[in-house]
Chain A
């Protein structure tokens, strides 16, 4: 990776890009932002923000379990998040309860369990801080490789199943009548979304990670006239927010994740004005 860092030094001769932690942070946000925005297109169109919130808040328990059992909290956070995501889909498919109710139950369970563990072990509070607000400046080379793999998996999954997922979102029966394996795709999408959410917590923080999925996609939707334009507009807005937020946080000495979301929110407001002017 040292060659990449040298290349960045020559391409980005700016004060903010000099420290090694900023170079790593820049690579991290450039990998996480498009994955979040691309998955966010489905989250926004099919009203899944609450699902994403449930996964991110399960991080309370994921981190607590990791520290409790002496495992790297990053792994338990991802593992527990995926488990919660798959459990929500499984119960929803077998129950007559509304999807909001099912998510609400798992959301409450995951947060409550985490709080119980943390309150019993006060020393855990310090470990949790990193995950509450995110800490992209301390991201490691290994984590960056993990983020790169996740972005490639996301791109491959959306290349294969994007159209089918969209049809399921519009009408499940129509998709089934078309021979699409709805059950498999629901599980696969929940698994991948859980991975994207939990991996992104390291960058954005569990409190705001859903915004990284929702805000760029919502802004992209305001600007778009077709599925294709929404997809690309969301990714561009996600990337612009991530880079401008990272640079701003360097100069304002603010939390990077929150600054990225503020930049995304500013772009969303502009898109909202654009949509209003266009008469949408």
Chain B
């Protein structure tokens, strides 16, 4: 893992996106996007549906074609990137176990011969990191949303990543699963100093985890420290003034907890002092 350096008191950039344009099917999805994700920081990417958040992640992964420049570690070294997709759309009756899934793509030996001993140990170690070691022999299709997210996070960690990209990590997770996932992300960020770029609709998660927030809607509308970006004015500009954004200050070391729902209903807000 690359040790994060510092420049002028702030960590060095892990990802620098400059003048990024993505067109898909003749439609401009991203236009002139400039963002920076720094080592050791959690950066949240927020914006309405169709804003291009996932597309930005895919461009960083090199999966979608783009114009512009994406540099890693200031162009000095190729990073190892771990990716946690929003969901896995697969046949849930297939007999693949969690261990099968973690070995896929990490071992050359075909799974129909056996799981490689070294890979199994590596998978067990990362499952333990994400508090999912008891899931090793379970079928992938039998996992709950929260369990699956922790397995996906373990898979991302198996890459030994400098950077982790999370796409809507809490979208299919219940409240307790979300709490556990947030704790894990925070712990990984603090202990391993991994740069994390997280797409999220959940502003509670954003305010509790992210140090930096990028507000995106085809172009970058706002970028900065969480408390500076997550406010009614910026969010109204980003999501639209009619979207029912409620913000309350719980007074946790100045952190803002908020509730947002596109239908205008109040969303669960942070209830404990974990954000301290």
Binding site for B on A (CB under 8 A): 45-47, 96, 158-160, 162-164, 166-167, 169-171, 173-178, 180, 221, 224-232
Contacts and interface: CB of A to CB of B under 8 A. Distances in A.
Given A163-B107, A170-B88, A229-B95, A177 B81 contact: yes
A109 B109 CA distance: 40
Contacts of B58: 173
A171 B58 CA distance: 14
> Interface centre among B88, B94, B99, by most A CB within 10 Å?
B94
B95 A227 contact: yes
Interface string B86-123: 00111101111101110111011011111100000000
Q: Is the interface of A mostly helix, strand, loop or mixed?
A: helix
B94 A45 contact: yes
Contact of B105 (A96, A164, A224): A164
B105 A221 contact: no
B263 interface: no
Interface of B: 25, 58, 61, 63, 81, 83, 85, 88-91, 93-97, 99-101, 103-105, 107-108, 110-115, 139-140, 155
Q: Is the interface of B mostly helix, strand, loop or mixed?
A: loop
A177 B96 contact: no
Nearest to B88: A171
Contacts of A224: 95
B84 to A, nearest CB: 9
Contacts of B25: 96
B85 A173 contact: yes
B100 A226 contact: yes
A158 to B, nearest CB: 6
> Interface centre among A96, A163, A164, A229, by most B CB within 10 Å?
A163
Nearest to A229: B95
Contacts of B107: 163
